[in-house]
Structure formats: C-alpha cells, structure tokens
Chains A and B, each alone.
Chain A
Amino acid sequence: MTAERRRFGPRFSVARFGAIAMKEFVQMRRDRLTFAMMVGIPIMQLILFGYAINTDPRHLPTLVELGDTGPASRAIVQAMETSRYFDIEGVVFGAADINTALKTGEAMFVVTIPANFERDLARGERPQILLDVDATDPVAASAAASSFPRIVESAVAPLLDGALSDLAQGPPPVEVVLHRRYNASGRSALNIVPGLLGTILTLTMVLMTAIALTREAERGTLESLLATPAQPLEVMAGKISPFVLVGVLQTAIMLGLARTLFGVPFLGAPPAFLALITMFVVVNLSIGFLFSTLAKSQMQAMQMTFFFFLPSILLSGFMFPFRGMPGWAQNLGEALPLTHFVRGVRAVMLKGAGLGDTWAQIWPLAIILAVVATLALSRYRRTLD
C-alpha cells in the first residue's frame, strides 16, 4: 500500500498547494473589478471616516487656570487662540471649578499653568502644563488635544533665546500633560483608524474566501478541481495565501493614508505589527473559507459574511468600549478575531508595544484559527454530492 500511496504523493503536497495558490493569484489579478474593490474600499472608508472624524474640530470652548502669569503663559494662550482649535473663554480657579466646567460642558478643555511656571521655564526645569480634556466625544477632542504639545512648544520657543537657547535642542522645554476625563481609555480619532483597519480587513478578507468554493461550484470548475488528487488542506491554503498579500496591501494603503491625511502615529515595532496583521488576515480568510464550505451559493456566502461582520463591529470594542459591554457580550466578543486585533493593533500603533506584548493577542487568534480550520477541513466536501 505504501508504494501505491507514493503514486499520488504525500498528504500535503507543496506542489499542489503552489499550483492552487498561483492559479488563485492569476484569477485575482484578472478580476479587475474585485481587485479595484479591494484597493478602493479601504481608501474610500478611510476618507469617509476621516472626514467624519474631522468635522470641524476647531473653536472648542476652553478655560485657563493661571497659576502664574508672564511672557510664556501669555504666549501659550495667544498661540492657542491663533491655532483656532481653542477658544479661550475665560479663567477658572481651582480643581472644583475645573470639574464643574468640564462636567457641565461649559468647557471642553481646561489649561492649567502651574505656579512658578515662568521661573521653572527660565531655569530650564521643564515645568508641566496640564490640559484637561473632556474625552466623551473623542472624535471632536482628539485633533485639538494632539496638536496642543506642538502649539505649546512653538509658543515658548522664541522666548528661549540667549542662555536658554540650548534648551531648544534636547527634550521640549515644557512637559505637556494630557488628562482625559470621562473616557480614560482615550478612544480617539487615533484609535478609530486601527479599528477601522481591522473592520475593513474583516469584511474584505472574509468575503474574498467566502466565495472561493461556491464560485468554483457555480462556474462548474469544481468538478475539474475535485477530479484532481487535491487535498482539503492544499485547497484551503492555496485559496487563502494570495489574499494574504491583498490584506497586507490594504493595510499599507490604509496606514499610509492615515498617516498623511490624519497624522495617525505609528509607534509600534514593525515585526509586532506584521505578526499581528498576518495572523489576523489568515484567521479571517479561514473564516471565509469555512463559510465557503457551508454555503450553497455565492449569494449565501455573502450573507454569511455580513452576519459575521455585524457582531464583529458591535462587539469587538471598535464601536463601543469593550469594558462597558455586559459580560455575555464580552464573552462573545472574545471569540471574534477583530476584538483581539483591535486591542493588539492599538497597543502597537499608539502605545509602541513590541512583539512580546502582542503575544497576548496572537495566541487567542491562533486558537480561533485552529478551531475554524478544523471545522472548515471537516466540512470540505470532496465529492459533488
């Protein structure tokens, strides 16, 4: 029997996997419309969301607590006004007033210039300046808040002449402390881009492989494919792998746009990001392939994709803060790849997490992948019945 087995090759043949992958790649390249969609969707979504994010975040009501006055304080307040992000509407005194102002919405920002600010600045002691932010509407607040350090720095820079000019190199002369209120996790425009990236990848990746087998069945090519000695795992891997490239391409487009249009920082280590994104893309493609083995037609496959997409958006922490959801919803959310991706990619992109830090997100994704792949391979039909 072993001699006979050899005539059709091992359980997993790299050659057959490669043949399927290459064939899928050529088909994908020839399918102009789909390809344009794969590239167009992320661009369109990002721009749409981006403009929603940016709906005039200027002229936001701001109060100042002046613990000190002098040329630097005046310059900072002046610079804030000219930036047009902040409208300085008056002064406050003390923590209680600040709380009330932010709570009632009288102000969205309160700038606190501490006592001895001018003196400490002159001595080069890097005094703190505090910006309290009402982050309940992170979309509105974030652009202004993220521009604040730059405003402060350029306001004080001209004052640092003569003996102080060496301060202009090195670390900033003022330490800006952002204090987000009411939304400590700090969901902001910056956080929406990573989430959006995951959402778009979920939709397009699942959709692409969801129609993988149903399309072959509808075009009649499944009969030829099944008449070859192709093994289920070869078909699955072969159909998935070309789209990993698409996923990476989409990611590159999104990140490039997010950076140029909206100044979303990328702090993280590229290896961590690459590991996370690859894992996430592969998991989604596998889910799509699973749908493909379940669906009877391309239409059904698309419906399944959208059924999967909805909870992914709602329960992953992309739309609503994860910790704010009821327990059952959190449990459900843990089973969704997007949840882990959003967590991981926010950490990587915004907090500078490294490869080691993302392990906490990689292993749940690996478990989901194992479960989905097992299901898909057991569902894969090797006959036409």
Chain B
Amino acid sequence: MNAETVIDVRGLTKRFGDKTVVDDFDMTVPKGAIYGFLGPNGSGKTTTIRMMCGLLRPSGGEGTCLGYDIVRDADLIKANVGYMTQKFSLYGDLTVRENLDFMARMHAVPDRRGAVAATLEEHKLAPRAEQIAGTLSGGWKQRLALAASSLHKPPLMLLDEPTAGVDPKARRDFWDRIRILADGGVTVLVSTHYMDEAVQCDSIAFISFGKKLIDAPTADIAAQVGLHTRRIEGRDLRPIHAQLKDAPGVDQIARFGSALHVSGRDAAKLDAALAPLRARPDLEIGPAKTGLEEAFIYLMTGSEDNYQ
C-alpha cells in the first residue's frame, strides 16, 4: 500500500437481506485529495461511507482508512475520522455549544473550551452558541454538524451531502474551508448532488446501483463517459428540442441559456442527426465541451431504477 493512500477499499459489498446495496466497490483516495462521491438517490453512497468509518459491517470485501482496517480497527478510525452524517444526528435537545462540547470530550480534544470557542467563531456559530440545536434552521444544522465533525481536526473527513439545504454564500465559504483543509493535508471524501461542487473536487467517483461506474480526475470525467456534444444557438429552439428528442444518435439534450447542448455517444450518428439543421441560416451549430452535468445526467438516465 502506498504510504500516501488514505482510503483503500477493495471489493466492498453490502447486502441488506437479499438486496445488494453496494456491490464490489473499489476506491483509492490519496492523501490531501478532495474526492467527490456522486450517484443518484439510493445508489449506495451513504452505505459505502458508513462501511468506511466502521458504522456498518461489510458483507464482503476489505479495506483500510488511514491505514487502519475498516473492520478490526473501527475504534481507531472513529477516533481519527470526521464523519458528517447526511441526516442531522446531533442532539436536538442540547444547545449548539453543548453539542460541540460533547464531541470535544468524546474525542479528548486538547484545550476543549478554546477549541469549542474557536470552532464556534470559525463556523460563524458564536451568536447561536446557546440556541437549542433542534430549533436551528436546516442550513444552520448542517453548519453545526460540519463544525462538530471537524472539531477534533481529523486527517480524514467523510462528508455525506454536507451542503444539502445550505445557501450559496455559505456553500462557497464551506468549499473555501475544504480547500484550505486539503491544502493542509486533510483528505476529504464528499458526497454531493451539486455539479458546481463536483467540479471543485480533484477526482470523482460515480456510483449507481451500488456499482462504481466512473472513477477519474474531474477533468477526465466527460471524456470517460464518452459523450460528444454540439451546441446549437438560435432564436426559437423549442421545436428543435422536440424534433431532436427522439432522433437516433441523440442521447441527451440540455438547455444552456439561449443555447441547446445536444450530446450522443456516437459522434457520427450525432452529426447525422444534426445534418438537416446545418442548412438553416438562423441556427449556429458547433462543437462544444461535454460538461459534468451532462455527463452525470446521462449516467443517471441509464440507471433510473435507482429511484425505485
């Protein structure tokens, strides 16, 4: 194992009853990386993260986090990982400060009071320190949860949809902080449904049906998905959208402001579908870069059963 590898799991599998929720999942995350974890609802992201931090026993496979075995050394992983749960899981009947204080004690944080005060400041929670956590708004609960999971300065953070329901300004602050942490050597695995967050990750793993479909540096994702995209600009694009929707060779159409992005896996077929339009003088058609969003929506369209 490379000394710089922080997460290294192989063949990770989780079954609930006869349902296989995570299937033969491999992942290698180097130190200091911001790794995005994407996939449709119910694809197994939360389940995978829970197995990584010792909260669920894998039905199969093995792996290490920070060099500790995810089954045998669960206690050591728990002590050194900051896990932020998708659903708010702090104590709703304790105040913000009491929750942080509890976590600080559980992790034996040195200079507990100072650390709690600093965290309150850093996450702009200080004015709400004495508020009962259960009465915080959704976004503020998320901030508290993030604060609680980073309080003990863990070298690895597993963040399960940390910014769900958080306003854009706070999300930007959040990602700035993630960047700073990563520059300082902290490794971050973060699940998200936001594309603007996905592009900020160094690498992305995409999971569907518990199976990993893509795992690549963010810049290479589009190429790996293998989509070709053409951009159509023009006045009235609505009829064209309708016309192209079911055309052979067109796998996906997305609106981008006043333009349409038409994508397909087979460049030749895609261009054939667009050929009749090229003659029209009111339309401008040219090649375009396939975006992350198009790539992922394409991947998700192919796995709609995840929503069942």
Return chain B residues, CB-CB under 8 Å to A9. Answer: 79, 108
Assess the A19–B105 pair: CB atoms within 8 A: yes
Q: Is the CB of A383 within 8 A of B54?
A: yes
Contacts A9-B108, A18-B105: A221 and B54 contacting too (C-beta < 8 A)?
no
Q: Tell me the nearest residue of chain A to B87, going by C-beta.
A: A220
The answer to the question of A26 belonging to the interface, with a C-beta cut-off of 8 Å to chain B, is: yes
- Determine the distance from Cα of A32 to Cα of B205 in the docked complex, in whole angstroms: 47
- A-B contacts besides A220-B88, A227-B85, 6 pairs, CB < 8 Å: A9-B79, A15-B108, A19-B102, A220-B87, A228-B78, A228-B106
Chain A residues with CB under 8 A of B13: none
Interface positions, chain B 49-96, Cβ under 8 Å from A, are 50, 53-57, 68, 74-76, 78-81, 83, 85, 87-94
Any chain A CB within 8 A of the CB of B260?
no
Q: Is the CB of B106 within 8 A of A26?
A: no
Contact A226 B90, CB 8 Å, known A4-B76, A7-B76, A9-B108 = no
List of A residues within 8 angstroms of B85 by Cβ: 220, 223-224, 227
Cβ-based interface call for B98 (8 A): yes
**Docked CA distance A31–B78 (Å):** 30
Report which of A19, A220, A383, A384 forms a contact with B106, defined as CB distance below 8 A.
A19
B193 within 8 A of A: no
Once bound together, how far apart are the Cα atoms of A37 and B91, in whole Å? 22
- Report yes or no: A223 in contact with B91, Cβ–Cβ below 8 A: no
User: A220 CA to B92 CA in the complex, in Å?
Assistant: 10
A-B contact pairs, 18 of them (CB 8 A): A5-B76, A8-B75, A8-B76, A9-B79, A9-B108, A16-B105, A19-B102, A19-B106, A23-B94, A23-B98, A26-B94, A27-B93, A227-B83, A227-B85, A229-B78, A229-B106, A230-B106, A382-B74
A54 part of interface (Cβ distance < 8 Å): no
Nearest B residue to A226 via CB reads B55
Give the CA-CA distance A4 to B76 in the complex, in Å: 8
Task: Tell me the bound Cα distance from A165 to B7 in angstroms.
Answer: 94
Nearest CB of A to B95, in Å: 9
Chain B residues, CB < 8 A from A19: 102, 105-106
Complex contacts, A27 vs chain B, CB 8 Å = 91, 93-94
B107 is an interface residue with CB less than 8 A from chain A: yes
Using known A-B contacts A8-B76, A19-B106, A223-B89, determine if residue A384 contacts B83 with beta carbons closer than 8 Å: no
Question: In whole Å, how far is A67's beta carbon from the nearest beta carbon of chain B?
Answer: 71
Say yes or no for B285: interface residue by CB 8 A criterion: no
Residues of B within 8 A of A26 (CB): 93-94, 98
Q: How far is the CB of B92 from chain A (nearest CB, A)?
A: 7
Proximity bits, A1-30, B CB within 8 Å = 1, else 0: 000110111000101101110110011001
**Nearest CB of chain B from residue A162's CB, rounded to whole Å:** 72
Q: What's the nearest-Cβ distance from chain A to residue B120, in Å?
A: 18
Assuming the contacts A23-B94, A221-B90, asked whether A228 and B55 have C-beta atoms less than 8 A apart, the reply is: no
Cβ distance B55 to chain A, nearest Cβ, rounded Å? 5
Is B103 part of the binding interface, using a Cβ–Cβ cutoff of 8 Å? yes
Count of chain A residues with a beta carbon within 8 Å of a chain B beta carbon: 33
Task: Pick the residue among B56, B93, B107 that contacts A228 (CB under 8 A).
Answer: B107
CA distance A33 to B87 in the complex (A): 27
- Chain B nearest CB, measured from A263 CB (Å): 41
* Residue contact A16 to B106, C-beta cutoff 8 Å: yes
Chain A residues, CB < 8 A from B56: 383-385
Contact check, A8 vs B102: say whether CB atoms are below 8 A apart: no
Contacts of A230 in B (CB 8 A): 106
Q: How far is the CA of A371 from the CA of B28 in the complex (A)?
A: 45
Q: How far is the CB of A148 from chain B (nearest CB, A)?
A: 54
Q: Is A323 positioned at the interface, with any CB of B under 8 Å from its CB? A: no
With a CB–CB cut-off of 8 A, which chain A residues contact B94? 23, 26-27
Enumerate chain A residues within 8 angstroms of B75, measured Cβ to Cβ: 8, 229, 231
Min distance, Cβ B179 to any Cβ of chain A, angstroms: 24
Shortest CB–CB separation between residue A377 and chain B, in angstroms?
A: 15
Question: A4 → chain B, closest Cβ, in Å?
Answer: 6
* Chain A residue nearest to B95 in the complex (CB): A26
User: In the complex, what's the smallest C-beta–C-beta distance from A16 to chain B, in angstroms?
Assistant: 6
Closest Cβ of chain B to A44, distance in Å, is 26
Q: B107 to chain A: which residues have CB within 8 Å?
A: 228-229
Residues of A within 8 A of B50 (CB): 384
- B-side contacts of A226, CB under 8 Å: 55
Give min CB distance, B62 to chain A, whole Å: 16
* Beta-carbon contact of A31 and B102 below 8 Å: no
Question: A385's contact among B57, B81, B106, B148, by CB below 8 Å, is which?
Answer: B57
Smallest Cβ distance from A210 to chain B, in angstroms? 19
The A350-385 residues at the B interface (CB cut-off 8 A) are 382-385
Q: Taking the nearest CB of chain B, how far is it from the CB of A298, in angstroms?
A: 15
A15-B108, A228-B78 known; A23 and B87 CB under 8 Å? Answer: no
B78 touches A227 (CB 8 A): yes
A29 closest partner in B (C-beta): B93
Contact partner, A23, options B55, B81, B91, B92, Cβ 8 Å: B91
Q: Is A227 touching B91 in the complex (CB atoms < 8 A)? A: no
Q: How far is the CB of B72 from chain A (nearest CB, A)?
A: 11
Q: Which 6 A-B pairs have the closest CB atoms?
A: A19-B105, A8-B79, A224-B89, A228-B106, A229-B79, A223-B89
Chain A residues near B103: list those with CB within 8 A. Answer: 224, 228
Contacts of B93 in A (CB 8 A): 26-27, 30-31
B172-228 residues with Cβ-Cβ distance < 8 A to A are none
CA distance A229 to B55 in the complex (A): 11
Look across to chain A and name the residue whose beta carbon is closest to the beta carbon of B82: A227
Chain A positions within 8 Å of B105 at CB level? 15-16, 18-19, 22
A155, B89: Cα distance in complex, Å:
71
- With A and B bound together, what is the CA distance between A230 and B98 in angstroms? 17
